[in-house]
Amino acid sequence: MSITASQYDLDVPDTIENGYFVFTIMPTLQCPYNCKHCYLSLEQRRDPTTMTIDQMRVVCRKVDAYWDQVQPPSRVVLVYNYGGEPTSTGPEYFEAYVNMMAEEFPAAKGYEVKHIMLTSLLGVDLDVWAPLWHKHTGGYIQTSYDGSMRSSSYVRKWEAKVRDAISRGLRVATISVVNADLLEQGVANTLNILADLGICETGWLPFMLNEQNSVAGKYDRYAPTMQAFNDYMIEMLDHWYSLKYRGIQPPSIGEAHFAVDRARRTPMSNMCGQTLFLMPNGDFVLPNYKDGYKEYMHSFGNILEPDTTFHDILVSRERRLYMRRQVTRNKNPECQGCEYKNACLLEFAKPNKTSDECFGAKRFVAHAIHRNSLDPLLDGPVTLF
């Protein structure tokens, strides 16, 4: 079962300092695919460099030493393996780090550790991986779904893999970057396809500009405006309600649950204070933005440096500046008095586009909260994407 934010005290923000760590590991960036929204360069995707288990153990020991010092009220670690393609390091590697973390983050010290993997599913041998996921992730996996953006033959192979995975008792959630092809496919079609496959949860992200897709017109070709994103998400939520009323069980829409849940929490709960990405070389990073809203990975320091502690990373100048940007919502004028600040989908603070609706998807957030106030089908546990 996934750990859900609503299991914890609504007044205590989910932050690393409070003992809630969304530990997003990228032990390798290797991936055989060339997705149009990917923030990794071709060179990074073809690079087999992988953090060793011993190095990852050093990182875990530094996290544990930090929590020994600050004695937080809980010790929750959600280990998201996002890669690259996380299965590319092989099943032995996966088992080795899961077992290593069980040693370094023992339940006897109050640790609650959950493992989650975001896989393309293509080329994955389910005879090998399905039993491992049943054993270590509670049978839950996440996979990317972007409609036909990666080609129709990709989608056909992916659908076959999803059906195979579900027939083996796995619970499969999707994460989608909303793109022009999904818009063309249409909301009802898209949600019906995912419901028919048996997907349990969905997550929907705006298409972000980065170094890779800013060339050759890829961003301009595939990225919808935030106005189109809001329209799409509102229509999807309305379709989701109508499926529910017809007795059909569509997959949940993560962002709708997120908005309803976060609106009830403190502003600090929506600040990225719980998340760090670990790169293969030991850098702790988070997505940041330059030249407007172009995404890049911003480093807060390298945890594998012998003298660097986890505390050093958390209080580093770079992280403090980063957190200030979250707290002030990048000083965006429209964000300052916004009543949806806590619930907004502006995942990592950046400037809004001047000629578009905000990156927080305010209109969709308001719609989800309003619909839930009339019919509270969005109450209940929120799985953290």
Residues of this chain that bind ligand SF4 (CB under 6 A): 329, 332, 334-335, 338, 340-341, 344, 346, 358-360, 362, 365
CB of 342 to ligand SF4, least distance (A): 9
Of residues 157 and 353, the one with the C-beta less far from ligand SF4? 353
Nearest position to ligand SF4, beta carbon: 360
Spell out where 235-325 has E strands.
252-253, 275-278, 283-290, 294-302
Of residues 159 and 356, the one with the C-beta less far from ligand SF4? 356
Residue 84's nearest CA partner among 47, 52, 128 is 47
Q: Do you find a cis peptide bond into 84, omega within 30 degrees of 0?
A: yes
**How far is Cα 311 from Cα 89, in angstroms, rounded to an integer?**
29
CB of 339 to ligand SF4, least distance (A): 8
Here the tokens at position 144 are: 């990317």
Of residues 249 and 328, the one with the C-beta less far from ligand SF4? 328
CB of 174 to ligand SF4, least distance (A): 24
CB of 361 to ligand SF4, least distance (A): 7
**How far is Cα 229 from Cα 381, in angstroms, rounded to an integer?**
24
**How far is Cα 379 from Cα 382, in angstroms, rounded to an integer?**
8
CB of 349 to ligand SF4, least distance (A): 8
Q: Which residues contact 158 (CB under 8 A, 6 or more apart)?
A: 120, 121, 122, 143, 145
CB of 333 to ligand SF4, least distance (A): 9
Q: Which helix (H) or strand (E) holds 378?
A: none
Q: What is the amino acid identity at position 111?
A: Y
Of residues 170 and 345, the one with the C-beta less far from ligand SF4? 345
Q: Which residues contact 246 (CB under 8 A, 6 or more apart)?
A: none
CB of 266 to ligand SF4, least distance (A): 15
Q: Which helix (H) or strand (E) holds 82?
A: none
Q: Which residues contact 82 (CB under 8 A, 6 or more apart)?
A: 24, 25, 26, 118, 277
Q: What would the DSSP string read from start to end of 128-183?
A: HHHHHHHHHSTTEEEEE--GGGG-HHHHHHHHHHHHHHHHTT-EEEEEEE--HHHH
Of residues 305 and 334, the one with the C-beta less far from ligand SF4? 334
Of residues 83 and 360, the one with the C-beta less far from ligand SF4? 360
Of residues 31 and 346, the one with the C-beta less far from ligand SF4? 346
Of residues 150 and 362, the one with the C-beta less far from ligand SF4? 362
CB of 346 to ligand SF4, least distance (A): 4
Q: Which helix (H) or strand (E) holds 117?
A: strand 111-119
Q: Is 77 exposed, middle or buried (0-12, 13-18, 19+ CB in 10 A)?
A: buried
Q: Is 338 exposed, middle or buried (0-12, 13-18, 19+ CB in 10 A)?
A: middle
Of residues 239 and 362, the one with the C-beta less far from ligand SF4? 362
- Please list the helix, strand and coil fractions of the chain in percent, rounded to the nearest 5, in that order: 45, 20, 35
CB of 229 to ligand SF4, least distance (A): 12
Of residues 45 and 367, the one with the C-beta less far from ligand SF4? 367
CB of 272 to ligand SF4, least distance (A): 13
